[in-house]
Amino acid sequence: MPAQQKKIIFCIAGVLSFACALGTAAALGTQLWVKGTILCKTGAQLVNATGQELEKFIGKIQYGLFHGERVRQCGLGGRPFQFSFFPDLLKIIPASIHVSVILFCTVLIVFALVGAGFFMFNAFGSPYETLHGPVGLYLWSFIAC
């Protein structure tokens, strides 16, 4: 493979790996993980409406990993309600789910950044001299662990 083509391929792979890390970091903070619609519970527990009348009783909910918003509509217009998971919903939803998602997203970000670094090093450095000898032995042992 020619040197110029090798540099281009490794640079593109490095940029894609870096974009993966940025996308994962952005996904952790967004509120748009889950979107849904909810039907308002009235005093009679039954909404007997159709068409445009029914739209007055359908609310929306959206939430992410940390925060969310619910809009209640019970015929009187939308009333937004902001909530966050850790102080508000910790009794309902187990914290282990959130901790494991955060942990695995952090691991994904770290591996993507390390991969981007290796791609850029292979594109612009001299990996043959580095990856052989004691430094290469320590590097491959670290990767294997």
CA separation for the pair 88, 63 (Å, rounded): 13
Residue 34's pLDDT is 82
CA separation for the pair 34, 30 (Å, rounded): 10
HSE toward the beta carbon, residue 35, CA cutoff 13 A: 3
Residue 56's pLDDT is 77
Residue 141's pLDDT is 66
Inform me whether the pLDDT recorded for 79 exceeds 80: yes
Residue 19's pLDDT is 92
Mean pLDDT (whole number) for 37-64: 74
Exposure pattern of 103-112 as b/e (b: 16+ CB <10 Å)? eeeeebbeeb
Q: What is the DSSP code string of 46-78?
A: -----THHHHTTEEEEEE-SSEEEEEEESSS-E
Confidence of residue 128 (pLDDT cuts 50, 70, 90): low
CA separation for the pair 38, 45 (Å, rounded): 13
Q: For residue range 43-56, what is the model confidence (pLDDT) as tens digits?
A: 555 556 677 777 77
Higher-scoring residue by pLDDT: 91, 42: 91
Cβ count within 10 A of residue 144: 6
Higher-scoring residue by pLDDT: 142, 60: 60
Residue 73's pLDDT is 80
